[in-house]
Amino acid sequence: MTGDFRRYLRAKRTVDDRAIDQRLVGTLRERLRNRTEAGDGPLRVLEVGAGIGTMLARLVEWDVLPPGEIRYTAVDIESDTIEAVVPYVREWAAERSVSVSETDRIVLEGSNRRIELEPVVSEAVAHAERTTGEWDLVVGSALLDLLELEALDRLLDALSPGGLCYFPITFDGGTRFRPELPGDRTIERHYHAHMDAKPGGSSRAGGDVVARLQGAVGVTLLGVAGSDWVVRPIEGTYPADEAYFLRHILDTIEEAVGEVTDDTETLEAWLAERRRQIDSAELCYFTHQLDVLGCVKK
């Protein structure tokens, strides 16, 4: 894991912000407040595949997390990524009325909430299994297309009765670029085939997760919504650092497709033209994803 990947995680913050469905965010906000009003102690949140901490920042900015005491554990398998959580949170907090102190845990305090943040290096499911029944909310963004579907059951087991699971930005089988090129469909097919061939990977994870939760005993599916990535130039340039985001996507496709095809000439020509289009702010990128919100019954 490199600093460039951390830059990608920062760059996709604005892309994710546009994509995430606000109706489901509202439902999550309401459910968490109802839970807090019941007076059950500090809210316990487990984020798996947490990256550099952008989801925590988003949940605070969007006022999703309720007032009061919150214990937030951010888990990621990559140590380099977890090491970036505290610097990112400090930088984010410095621009807002949020103070950050550090003892054995990171504490964020605003006008009406106090968050104890614990970054942890661990494999997501393994950590969930060590903390069965402990969490009021499990969050996993852009994660479930990388895990076996059975891992979802173990993440649900980590929830306390009445606990919520929130899985935004779950890939569901659509990758498109515009303007169109002759090799688009071939590249997309190889790219998705590479996802499917990886242990636990799925290019249809979003629909699979919905079906799993829909049929699960003891789980209520509260909502499903589209959260498509849409990246396009505006007035001759890309917003924020989204040109870098696009370059990282092309690097990912290059690596993945290169492992499943011998037609390197087609791939290299396709990539060269797509990279030229980024440089000239012509490329548009669309990816189909789903946000999923569920609740474990009491």
Q: What is the maximum alpha-carbon separation in the chain?
A: 62
Q: Give pLDDT, residue 122.
A: 96
* Mean pLDDT for the stretch of residues 221-236: 98
| Number of residues that make up the chain | 298
pLDDT, one tens digit per residue, over 17-67 is 999 999 999 999 999 999 877 777 899 999 999 999 999 999 999 999 999
Task: Judge whether 100 and 22 are in contact, CB under 8 Å.
Answer: no
Which domains occur in the chain, in start order? 3-173+201-229+286-296 (3.40.50.150)
Percent of the chain with pLDDT over 90: 88
Band the pLDDT of 2: cuts 50, 70, 90.
very low
Omega before 182 cis (within 30°)? no
Reply yes or no on whether the pLDDT at 202 is more than 80.
yes
Instruction: Give the number of other CB atoms < 10 A from CB of residue 8.
Output: 20
CA atoms within 13 A on the CB side of 178: 7
Rounded to whole angstroms, the Cα distance separating 254 from 247 reads 10
Predicted TM-score (pTM) of this structure: 0.95
CA 294 → CA 156, 211, 277, distances in Å? 9, 12, 40
pLDDT, one tens digit per residue, over 171-189 is 999 999 999 999 999 999 9
Rounded to whole angstroms, the Cα distance separating 211 from 213 reads 6
Q: Give pLDDT, residue 56.
A: 97
DSSP assignment string, 108-150: EE-SSEEEEEEEEES-HHHHHHHTTT-EEEEE-SS-GGGS-TH
Band the pLDDT of 104: cuts 50, 70, 90.
low
Q: What are phi and psi of 184, to 5 degrees?
A: -55, -50
Reply yes or no on whether the pLDDT at 228 is more than 60.
yes
Least confident of 41-50, 101-110, 119-128, 198-207: 101-110
Q: Give pLDDT, residue 103.
A: 67
Give the chain's mean pLDDT.
94
Q: In terms of C-beta density within 10 A (0-12 exposed, 13-18 middle, 19 or more buried), how is residue 186 classed?
A: middle
Strand blocks (E) in 140-186: 159-178
Q: Which residue has tokens 């609740």?
A: 295
